[in-house]
Amino acid sequence: QCGYLPNVFHGFHHAVDVLQMLTLLGPLMPWEALLSPAQRFALAVAALALDIGHPGFSNVFLVEACDELAVRYNDVSPLESMHSARLFQIVSVPGTNVFANLSRAQYAEVRKVCIDSILGTDNQRHYQLLSELQVTYEQESELFDLVMDAYNQSPREYPPSELVDFYCRTDARKLIRSFFLHFVDTTNTMKPWRVCKYWSELLFEEFFSQGDTERAMGLPVQPLNDRGKVNKPQVQLAFTEFFVAPLASVVSKWMPPLRLCEDQCQENLDRWSRRWLDTQPSHVEQDRVADRISRMRSGTTMTLRMTSHVLSLRSSGL
C-alpha cells in the first residue's frame, strides 16, 4: 500500500477493488478447474500490484514528456513495466517475500504469470487480446455453444469435462492468465450503475488533472483530458460500446457464468445512452449511434428504449 500514490483513480483503492472482483469472478470461471493454486495466487498478487507507483499520468503523457519511465522502458508499456518491476523489487526485501515458500519452479511460474498479466493491462494490448479470444471462440464455436446450452439448462454442472479438457490441452489457459486481470481491471464499467458512475467520475478527474499539466507544460492536450470540452456521457458511451462491450461479450461466450458482467455492461450502456441524448446531440448523431447499437444488440430491449427516448426528445422539439 505504501507504494501507491494518492491518485484520484489509480490508487490503492482501485487495486483493492480489482482484487475484490478477481476473488468474486474467479470462482465463477471456475478458476479452480483451469488454473493451478500458484497461478491463482499470482493473479491475486498481480491485482494488488497492477498500478503500484502509478504517477497519475498515462503512457502517452510519459512518452510525450520524455519521462524517465518512458526512456527506461523504450516507450513500450512504461507504466505496466514499472508496476511489475516494483512488485518484484518489494518481494526481494527480506520479510516481504510472499513467494518465499514456493519452489524454484513454482516461483518461475508465478513470476511469469504476474508479469504477463500486469503487462496485459496496458490498453494498447486490448484489441490483440480481444482478437485472440474471438479467434479461439470461432475455432471452437461448436464446443462453446454446446457448453452455453448446457449451462443454461443446468448451471450447477458447469464446467463440463469437455471444456476443462479443452482448456488443459491447448494454449487457452495461457490466454486466460493473460486476459483475465485486464478483464477484471475494466469491470468498474460492468458494476451497478451507481458504482459505475462513481468510478467514471474519478477517472475523468484524473484525466482532467493530466490535461491541466499537459497545458502547463506546453504539450498537446489529449482529447479525453480537456475539462472544458469533454462530453462525459459521449466518451463513456463510446468507451463502453467499442472497448468494454465486445470484451464482455466474448468473455461470456468463453465462460457463461460471467454473462452477468455482460448484462450489467449493457444496462450501463443504456444509461450512458440516455445521458448522452440529454446533451442534445444532432439528429444525425443520434441516428448514427442508435443504428450502431441496434446492430450490436439487434432486437434487445435496450435498443428499443434508446429509440423510444430519441423519439420522445424529437417530439418535444429538441
Angle at 89 between CA 83 and CA 90, to 5 degrees: 90
Residue 10: active-site member: yes
Q: Which amino acid is located at 259 in the chain? A: R
Helix axes 259-277, 245-254, angle to 10 degrees: 160
**CB neighbours (10 Å) of residue 311?**
11
10, 83, 126, 182: which is the annotated catalytic residue? Answer: 10
Angle at 192 between CA 126 and CA 178, to 5 degrees: 25
Annotated binding-site residue? 17: no
Tell me the C-alpha distance between 204 and 34, whole Å: 36
| Grid cell for residue 75 | 516507450
Annotated binding-site residue? 10: yes
Confirm if 135 and 154 have CB atoms less than 8 A apart.
no
Annotated binding-site residue? 182: no
Tell me the C-alpha distance between 42 and 68, whole Å: 28
Confirm if 261 and 203 have CB atoms less than 8 A apart.
no
Annotated binding-site residue? 54: no
Annotated binding-site residue? 51: yes
Residue 56: C-alpha distances to residues 61, 206, 248 (Å): 10, 7, 26
Q: Which amino acid is located at 295 in the chain? A: R
Q: Which amino acid is located at 298 in the chain? A: S
Annotated binding-site residue? 149: no
Annotated binding-site residue? 236: yes
Angle at 127 between CA 273 and CA 307, to 5 degrees: 20
Where on the phi/psi map is residue 102: left (φ > 0), alpha (ψ -120 to 50), or beta? beta
The binding site for AMP consists of: 10-14, 51, 185, 236
* Residue list, annotated binding site: 10-14, 51, 185, 236
**Annotated binding-site ranges for Zn(2+):** 14, 51, 185
The residues that are catalytic are 10
